[in-house]
Structure 1
Amino acid sequence: MTSESPHWAKSSYSNTGGSCVEWVPGIVSTTGAVPVRDSKNPAGPTLAIPVTAFTAFVDGVKSGSLHR
């Protein structure tokens, strides 16, 4: 990631209980990966998910095909 603080975003569908995954939408074009983290632990680890995997995850959430 860059030396600047990234702008983390989370889904507008996220509840206010804090069970959220946040991502940095503006960095994908330079890294080819989507940084993600747990919103409850912003100082914790960050994962770099390949764009294709992140897209598949979002598509699965939208379609309801992912199961708990």
Structure 2
Amino acid sequence: MSIQAINVRNQFRGKVKEIIHGDVVSEVDVETPWGIVTSVITSRSVKDLDLKVGSEVVALVKSTEVSIAKL
């Protein structure tokens, strides 16, 4: 499947900055020109995608809800 085949409008190119490995899920921080995007994905996916610090990736963001809090 190519990136073009995915129905996600918010795509941020970046590099993996940090991976916090867990038994079932892992936290992946992606550094983009606009800041850090953090994703929680299965540890199996980290392995299958061969993600490492420095890997070039695209963070695909699709949300059905966005909450806002006043500062």
Higher relative contact order (CA 8 A, sep 6+): 2
TM over 0.5: no
Greater share of helix = 1
Greater share of strand = 2
Q: Which has the larger radius of gyration?
A: 2
TM-score, with length taken from structure 1: 0.36
